[in-house]
Structure 1
Amino acid sequence: MILSKINNIKISGVSVALPTKLLESQSYYSQFGKENVDKFIEMTGVGSVCRSVPEQTASDLGYLSAKRLINERNIDVSEIGLLIFVSQKPDYRTPASSYIIHERLNLSENCMCFDINLACSGFLFGLQTAMSLLNSSNSKKALLITADTSVKTISEHDRTMIMLFGDSGSTLLLEKTDENIQASFGVRSDGNRFKSIITPSGAYRNLNASVESVSWSDGIIRSDYNTHMKGMEVFGFSISDVPKLISDFLIEINKTPENFDHFVLHQANLYILKQLSRKNKIPMSKIPISLDRYGNNSSNSIPLVLADHFSATENLTMSLFFSGFGAGLSWACADVVINTNAILPILFTDEYDLRYN
């Protein structure tokens, strides 16, 4: 595991944006059959997800969450020297979507921008990267923006994914502080399993792939431009490699579950969360859940849980354990401190900007 400890960087703002359309899992009864849908709800715990309108992109949702945070906290954008955008649904192949958001937020030229192409683990990879760069630069503040519109590459026939994933965007404001704050991270990667979650075409490896949707070996109709997840491989990874990292990381930082107020975990599905609870001896009462209403939100799962559960709580400093895991394969943990005053309520919006079409 790659370990890092970062001092005196504060999470001073959290903002989450969701589309207004709430799509209930039961609405798929006619498409997939009541028995299959009810079984899906029981296993995953997902009762509904938020769906973006076709014109709304991941960068729209990321921008909207950032703009709201900047406005409500009266942030001087000239002090923002770093913007990282984490997404697997960029606006264009080139340029990086962080530059679109940079322009829309009217940030200074004295700002480093780049994208990170990760999904469910992306928030933690991005947080570690943003804190490290902020710590070693002359920048006062950084924005970590995560967003995905997962539905845009999921086959409408794929019952394993279409009911599971929601669309959303989030922004964290990070800033240097004299407060005695330390964040710790543990990260692992395994490129040997890169095909476990993959969108085979749409970039440059398979330039001439057919757009025709056909029946795959699992019986689901999709094209090579649809995201494919090998369910059993990802499930095995989630209940074996992830709890092992959690255990190893707790040993490295010399802490136990009793040292944390909450374990804010990637909202993969309810069964996996229960397995992580059992294997790592974490009380389920310490694992807040948002997937029942919003599903699996890729890189936004952790910020969404924060906004969903703690935005109404005033001035409470919490010791939190984060864990995210997914495509790559990639998985990470973090030990952080955050005050609930930093967390804004969820913004629901279908706004988009056609100037960028």
Structure 2
Amino acid sequence: MGAQIKKIEYVFPEVMITNEDLKKDFPDYDFERFEEKVGIKRRYVVSDDETALDLAEKACNKLFQNFDKQKIDYILYCTQSPEYFLPTTACILQDRLGLRKDIGALDFNLGCSGFTYGVNLANALISSGQVENVLLVTAETYSKFIHPKDKTNRSIFGDAAAATLISKTDDDNILKFKFGTDGSGYDKLIVKNGCSKFPLDSDAEQISYGTDNIYTDNHLYMNGPEVFNFTTKVIPDFVKEIMADNKLEINQIDQFVFHQANSFMLDFLRKRVKISKENFYNDLSDGGNTVSCTIPIALKRYTDSLEENKELTLGIVGFGVGLSWSGGIIKINNKL
């Protein structure tokens, strides 16, 4: 008995922001060079009264157009944009979706590695015989945490939600996964204020951390160079470990789908691991970096691009805030 990713649906908010739109706020920034290097043309952000949960509900209902929602046994809800500190947002989602009451529902707080963690958690629930259908939801609204004068993070991050159905199968289609954690880098990508350690500060000082971006401790801060250094140092060897644990060679993988952080980083990693362009997904032009949603969106787009259903062996790898990373091998035999 095993599990398989059966279906993915995703949604963006209605508000689209292009590079041309951002140039009005940052006229001295070279967005043509940004687009060429980072690969992002447009991103989508929620309105003031819209939340990650609203996006999650839409993504799930989109998935339920082709699956009976009463067969869902468990909700895994990955977000760093919860509706409240408590209760658990997954519980609210259960009610909004009209799902059965005899199901499990939990939140887990992870960012760019969240989807790969979630796939493995769903596989464990199913393979242990506890459930048959898991609804893995990723939903993020980083735009709510970004300072309006922070051109880098406003350029990179977008909001989205994805709903992934993972179901019981006769064969093992979710193979071995590996994980990594380095909490010493917790402050490399952080919203410092607003939780138990430090409350929100209405008089928070504007700071730049030596860059031409503007933040306060109430807002998202990313140390881009340090995050890049961590990723390029850790992930290439990590991918090789995943391959070794699954007794596979690089050329046996039909497509690698990494967290879609930015095109420059992805191409660097691809070359370091020696993966051909044809077998490596790199396209975040429409949507940008949507944190835990990038991999399911990429998987959906990749399989939709195929002319017909076919058996595929895919490598998925997430990495980022935490610092955390995870990845593994999955098999699918249908468009998602």
Q: 2:330 aligns with which of 336, 341, 345?
A: 336
Distance 1:285 1:244 in 2: 21
Aligned to 2:96: 104
Q: Secondary structure at the match of 2:278?
A: helix
Mapped contact 1:214–1:221 kept (Cα < 8 A): yes
Residue 230 of structure 1 pairs with residue 210 of structure 2: no
Aligned to 1:321: 315
Structure 1 residues 156, 259: CA separation in 2 closer, same or farther (over 3 Å shift)?
A: same
Aligned to 1:39: 33
Q: Secondary structure at the match of 1:71?
A: coil
Mapped contact 2:56–2:162 kept (Cα < 8 A): yes
**1:194-205 equivalences in 2 (<5 Å):** 194-205=186-197
Aligned to 1:133: 125
- AA aligned to 2:103 is C
Residue 190 of structure 1 pairs with residue 190 of structure 2: no
Aligned to 1:20: 14
Q: For structure 2, list consecutive stretches of 5 or more residues without a partner in the other structure.
A: none
**1:165-314 equivalences in 2 (<5 Å):** 165-207=157-199, 209-212=201-204, 214-218=206-210, 219-311=212-304, 313=306, 314=308
Q: 1:80 aligns with which of 50, 63, 72?
A: 72
Q: What root-mean-square deviation, in Å, do the aligned CA atoms of Structure 1 and Structure 2 show?
A: 1.7
Q: Secondary structure at the match of 2:309?
A: coil
Residue 153 of structure 1 pairs with residue 162 of structure 2: no
Residue 29 of structure 1 pairs with residue 47 of structure 2: no
Mapped contact 1:211–1:225 kept (Cα < 8 A): no
Q: For structure 1, list consecutive stretches of 5 or more residues without a partner in the other structure.
A: 1-6, 344-357
Distance 2:203 2:158 in 1: 24
Q: Secondary structure at the match of 1:26?
A: helix
Mapped contact 1:211–1:223 kept (Cα < 8 A): no
Distance 2:141 2:174 in 1: 32
Give the drift of 1:76.
4.6
Mapped contact 2:39–2:283 kept (Cα < 8 A): no
Give the drift of 1:276.
0.9
Q: 2:61 aligns with which of 41, 49, 67?
A: 67
Q: Secondary structure at the match of 1:55?
A: coil
Give the drift of 1:255.
1.3
Identity %: 28
* TM-score normalised per structure 2: 0.94
Mapped contact 2:3–2:167 kept (Cα < 8 A): yes
Structure 1 residues 212, 283: CA separation in 2 closer, same or farther (over 3 Å shift)?
A: same
* TM-score normalised per structure 1: 0.89
- AA aligned to 1:86 is C
Structure 1 stretch displaced more, 13-22 or 185-194: 13-22
Structure 1 stretch displaced more, 253-262 or 178-187: 178-187
Distance 2:4 2:209 in 1: 48
Give the drift of 1:220.
2.7
Aligned to 1:92: 84
